């Protein structure tokens, strides 16, 4: 489907591709990865013919249709559904021709072709894609001009998916999506019938969707089978083998050089010395393994505060006279790691602003410790950075009267060494700007950090560094993110923001996925039923069943943990019993026998306690299920 042959391309005096070669077979789903600035988006432009190679070439299978998300956001008064339908140029052209054609044979050909491309299901397919990306049936009929840029980019993505090109190129497709739409997109792309090449820093998408990884590194394209986790493991093994080979070569060179130095001047060994010299020349210089420097984050730890550090009672939040969230009764402690769930537009960012002190409550009370320091990160804050000023100048301004060493030390926590700290913001990458915002946000060692979409411009390595830094941080964290990997590794509590409320969600991200899938199935069933009488009640019943499953999730987990503990104890008890039954044991010192008998008695007591806890957990689970029946 796609062939990159011996590609050479230079940009701005830098070699982005140095005789790079890769082949993508029809039907493959490929993840294109590499550090920011390595040239991934440039490769897409070369495939699309927007740029031309300096050497080698890029070829797509003849007559194959290549699709991508339009770079310019769609605009105008066209309805969303019509905008998506228009993306299938062949269907649109055939329908237009059918309206004016008079030749019976041509009319027959048109309708035969329309049937072949499933034109009769086009509206339903377009509606399903828009629904998956967050547009309900009523919204799909509204004009594009009624939506913000981020929502219009979703429409552009829907159009690219609906067109079903033979080769689909997606560049960071989840950047404008919320978690719900991201999970839907993962499922859709996993079943995409064509060939897919996706640039993404979303680790979970790369694990769930692709079956091959192409790594752009040092101007070369290197292919790895499997998903991102497979790639990471295989590459680590290759780097370790290369490092061992380098160390072995250095040792060989050292021994050969030592022989040459010892015997070069001795006539009896001169020939052997010359032979060793030629051997060294044939070996060539030892090439060390150079790994890209990992980005690091290091949030300063705050002083401890008594719980709760923040609490809301009877809160109403919104803008002007419009209430977005009601009945807010929430608390945050120092050790909390909370992720906010819910579709865009439900009020997650509104709640984040309230917690950050950026938006006062319309009613109710918000109490917090007088010493509370809050750090707030939002991606739009990059617009507040002054492009002509450096990271150091920005930090020096907020750390007033701080010595230069302290300012630079804090920037160094976020990967800004001397030279990068003095570069104008306009010359920084998106990831570096995000890191500068992290540095500015955390300058006062906040007790609570609120992060609204913190990973949009971070590559995978930087996202992993952020996960590590958040898990090492001693304060509270509230996350709004479309990155399931980040949520799963950082958050231990979930709050669901939906239907004008924000409340704890009893379950984990897997339970939330199941709830979303159940709701999606309900919507599809209701659409197929044509809103027949009784459809609403069945929908409510299914939703209630899904919510009941989510509510019992903590009890299921408790029962599973109790069962695991009991199994482990039973295995230890069996092992000790067998050991004490061995006659040979009693020929050893009596102290060992006494110790083993005491250990067995302790385990038997632990088994009894574990059995009681296991029974209690299962009784509680059955009782909860009975209440929901």
Q: What does 351-366 look like in DSSP terms, one character per residue?
A: HHHHHTTSS--SEEEE
Residue range 553-628 forms a domain whose CATH class is mainly alpha
**Using an 8 Å Cβ cutoff, are 437 and 377 in contact?**
yes
Long-range CB pairs of 145-152, under 8 A, 24+ apart, other chains included:
145/75, 145/76, 145/77, 147/80, 149/73, 150/176, 150/344, 151/176, 152/73, 152/74, 152/75
As to burial, measured by CB atoms within 10 angstroms (0-12 exposed, 13-18 middle, 19+ buried), residue 95 is middle
Neighbours of 288 (CB within 10 A): 12
Contacts of 18 by beta carbon, 8 Å cutoff, 6+ apart: 8, 218, 219, 220
pLDDT at position 532 is 46
pLDDT at position 238 is 76
pLDDT at position 330 is 93
Strand order through the sheet with 212-217: 66-68, 167-171, 195-199, 29-33, 212-217, 220-225
Place of tokens 């950090």: 449
- Same fold? 2-231, 310-505: yes
pLDDT at position 34 is 85
Lowest mean pLDDT among 86-95, 260-269, 373-382, 454-463: 260-269
**In 29-119, beta strands by DSSP E:** 29-33, 55-60, 66-68
pLDDT at position 533 is 44
pLDDT at position 206 is 92
**Quick check: 462 pLDDT over 90?**
no
Degrees to nearest 5, angle at CA 435 with 433 and 441:
105
Higher-confidence residue: 284 or 166? 166
pTM: predicted TM-score of the whole model, two decimal places:
0.67
Contacts of 534 by beta carbon, 8 Å cutoff, 6+ apart: none
Most confident of 322-331, 412-421, 455-464, 563-572: 322-331
* Joined tokens for residue 313: 């009672």
Q: Rounded to whole angstroms, what are the CA distances from 565 to 134, 552, 578, 603, 618? A: 42, 20, 20, 12, 14
**Quick check: 285 pLDDT over 70?**
no
- With cut-offs at 50, 70 and 90, classify the pLDDT of residue 212: very high
Q: The CATH number of 2-231 is which of 3.90.1260.10, 3.40.50.300, 3.40.718.10, 3.40.50.620?
A: 3.40.50.300
As to burial, measured by CB atoms within 10 angstroms (0-12 exposed, 13-18 middle, 19+ buried), residue 417 is exposed
| Cis amide bond preceding 304, omega within 30 | no
pLDDT at position 496 is 92
pLDDT per position as a tens digit, 55-100: 888 998 888 889 888 766 677 788 889 888 888 888 888 888 888 8
- Containing H/E element for 567? helix 553-580
Lowest mean pLDDT among 172-181, 185-194, 511-520, 604-613: 604-613
CA proximity to 154, closest of 179, 130, 186: 130
**Using an 8 Å Cβ cutoff, are 253 and 286 in contact?**
yes
pLDDT per position as a tens digit, 137-166: 888 888 888 887 778 888 999 999 998 899
**Quick check: 38 pLDDT over 50?**
yes
* Mean pLDDT for the stretch of residues 196-213: 90
Average pLDDT of the chain? Answer: 82
The sign of the torsion formed by the CA atoms of 529, 535, 538, 539 equals positive
Question: How far separated are the first and last CA of the chain, in Å rounded?
Answer: 53
The C-alpha torsion from 606 through 608 and 612 to 617, rounded to 10°, is 50
* Mean pLDDT for the stretch of residues 528-540: 48
Percentage of the chain surpassing pLDDT 90?
Answer: 18
pLDDT per position as a tens digit, 110-136: 888 888 887 888 888 888 899 888 888
* Joined tokens for residue 51: 């740029």
pLDDT at position 286 is 54
Homologous superfamily assigned to 310-505: P-loop containing nucleotide triphosphate hydrolases (3.40.50.300)
Q: How large is the angle between the packed helices 430-441 and 391-398, nearest 10 degrees? A: 10
Contacts of 417 by beta carbon, 8 Å cutoff, 6+ apart: none
Q: Rounded to whole angstroms, what are the CA distances from 20 to 39, 44, 169, 276? A: 12, 14, 19, 36
* Mean pLDDT for the stretch of residues 562-566: 75
CA proximity to 559, closest of 617, 600, 516: 617
Higher-confidence residue: 487 or 285? 487
The sign of the torsion formed by the CA atoms of 130, 136, 139, 141 equals positive
Domain coordinates in residue numbering, the chain = 2-231, 232-283, 310-505, 514-551, 553-628
pLDDT at position 414 is 86
* Mean pLDDT for the stretch of residues 375-402: 86
pLDDT at position 566 is 74
- With cut-offs at 50, 70 and 90, classify the pLDDT of residue 620: low
- With cut-offs at 50, 70 and 90, classify the pLDDT of residue 534: very low
């Amino acid at each position: 489907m796609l062939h990159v042959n011996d590609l050479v391309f230079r940009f701005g005096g830098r070699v982005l591709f140095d005789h790079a070669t890769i082949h993508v077979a029809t039907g493959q789903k490929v993840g294109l990865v590499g550090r920011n600035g390595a040239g991934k988006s440039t490769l897409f432009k070369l495939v699309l013919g927007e740029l031309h190679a300096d050497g080698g070439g890029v070829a797509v299978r003849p007559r194959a249709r290549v699709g991508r998300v339009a770079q310019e956001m769609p605009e105008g008064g066209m309805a969303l559904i019509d905008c998506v339908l228009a993306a299938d140029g062949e269907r649109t052209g055939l329908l237009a021709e059918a309206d004016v054609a008079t030749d019976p044979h041509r009319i027959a050909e048109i309708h035969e072709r329309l049937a072949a491309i499933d034109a009769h299901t086009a509206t339903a397919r377009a509606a399903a894609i828009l629904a998956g990306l967050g547009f309900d049936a009523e919204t799909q009929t509204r004009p594009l001009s009624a939506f913000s840029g981020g929502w219009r980019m979703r429409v552009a993505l829907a159009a690219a998916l609906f067109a079903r090109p033979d080769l689909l190129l997606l560049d960071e497709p989840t950047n404008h999506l919320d978690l719900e739409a991201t999970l839907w997109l993962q499922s859709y792309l996993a079943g995409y019938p064509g060939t897919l090449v996706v640039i993404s820093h979303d680790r979970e998408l790369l694990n769930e969707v692709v079956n091959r990884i192409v790594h752009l590194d040092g101007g070369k394209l290197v292919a790895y089978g499997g998903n991102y986790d497979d790639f990471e493991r295989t590459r680590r093994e290759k780097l370790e083998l290369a490092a061992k080979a380098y160390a072995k070569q250095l040792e060989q060179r050292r021994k050969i050089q030592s022989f040459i130095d010892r015997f070069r001047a001795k006539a009896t060994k001169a020939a052997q010395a010359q032979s060793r010299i030629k051997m060294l020349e044939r070996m060539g210089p030892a090439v060390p393994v150079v790994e890209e420097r990992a980005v690091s984050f290091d949030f300063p730890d705050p002083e401890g505060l008594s719980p709760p550090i923040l609490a809301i009672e009877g809160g109403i939040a919104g803008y002007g006279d419009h209430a977005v969230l009601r009945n807010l009764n929430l608390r945050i402690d120092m050790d909390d790691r909370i992720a906010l769930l819910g579709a865009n537009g439900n009020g997650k960012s509104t709640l984040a602003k309230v917690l950050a002190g950026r938006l006062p409550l319309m009613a109710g009370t918000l109490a917090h410790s007088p010493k509370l320091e809050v750090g707030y990160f939002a991606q739009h804050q990059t617009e507040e950075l002054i492009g002509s000023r450096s990271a150091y100048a920005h930090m020096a301004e907020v750390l007033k009267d701080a010595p230069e060493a302290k300012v630079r030390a804090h920037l160094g926590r976020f990967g800004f060494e001397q030279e990068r700290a003095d570069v104008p913001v306009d010359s920084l990458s998106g990831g570096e700007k995000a890191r500068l915002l992290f540095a500015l946000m955390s300058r006062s060692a906040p007790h609570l950090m609120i992060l609204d979409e913190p990973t949009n411009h971070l590559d995978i390595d930087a996202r992993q560094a952020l996960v590590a830094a958040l898990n090492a941080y001693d304060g509270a964290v509230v996350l709004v993110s479309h990155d399931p990997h980040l949520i799963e590794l950082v958050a231990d509590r979930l709050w669901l923001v939906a239907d004008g409320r924000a409340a704890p969600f009893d379950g984990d991200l897997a339970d939330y996925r199941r709830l979303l899938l159940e709701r999606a199935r309900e919507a599809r069933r209701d659409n197929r039923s044509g809103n027949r009488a009784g459809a609403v009640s069945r929908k409510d019943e299914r939703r209630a069943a899904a919510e009941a499953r989510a509510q019992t999730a903590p009890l299921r987990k408790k029962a599973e943990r109790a069962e695991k503990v009991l199994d482990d104890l039973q295995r230890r008890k069996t092992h000790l019993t067998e050991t004490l039954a061995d006659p040979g044991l009693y020929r050893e010192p009596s102290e060992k026998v006494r110790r083993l008998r005491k250990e067995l008695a302790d385990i038997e007591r632990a088994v009894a306690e574990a059995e009681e806890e296991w029974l209690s957990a299962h009784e509680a689970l059955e009782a909860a299920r009975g209440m929901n029946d």
